């Protein structure tokens, strides 16, 4: 079940592994997806393109901190 946390007017959407990003996120959102290998952080661009870090975080709190930092400074 998707959960949304707002930080600096950015939606940070927490998803389970089986939840498609496109079904729950829009442009400017950040998705954190729980997978077997860790917590992946994905950024949804203005055009809907999804960009991600090259490796997952080992803990949820680390992924959330990174997403909040990105929301603080902005991303495109």
- Domain ranges in the chain are 3-70
Q: Model-level pTM?
A: 0.91
Closest residue by Cα to residue 4 from 58, 26, 17: 26
Dump pLDDT digits (tens) for 40-69: 999 999 999 999 999 999 999 999 999 999
- Continuous H helices in the chain: 21-24, 60-73
- Tokens 């901190």 locate to 65
- Tokens 């997806």 locate to 33
Q: What is the pLDDT of residue 76?
A: 57
Task: Provide the pLDDT confidence category of residue 26 given band limits of 50, 70 and 90.
Answer: very high
């Amino acid at each position: 079940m998707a959960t949304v946390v707002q930080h600096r007017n950015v939606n940070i959407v927490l998803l389970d592994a089986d939840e498609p990003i496109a079904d729950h996120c829009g442009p400017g959102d950040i998705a954190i997806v729980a997978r077997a290998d860790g917590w992946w952080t994905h950024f949804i661009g203005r055009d809907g393109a999804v960009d991600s870090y090259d490796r997952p975080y080992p803990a949820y709190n680390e992924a959330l901190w990174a997403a909040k930092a990105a929301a603080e400074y902005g991303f495109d």
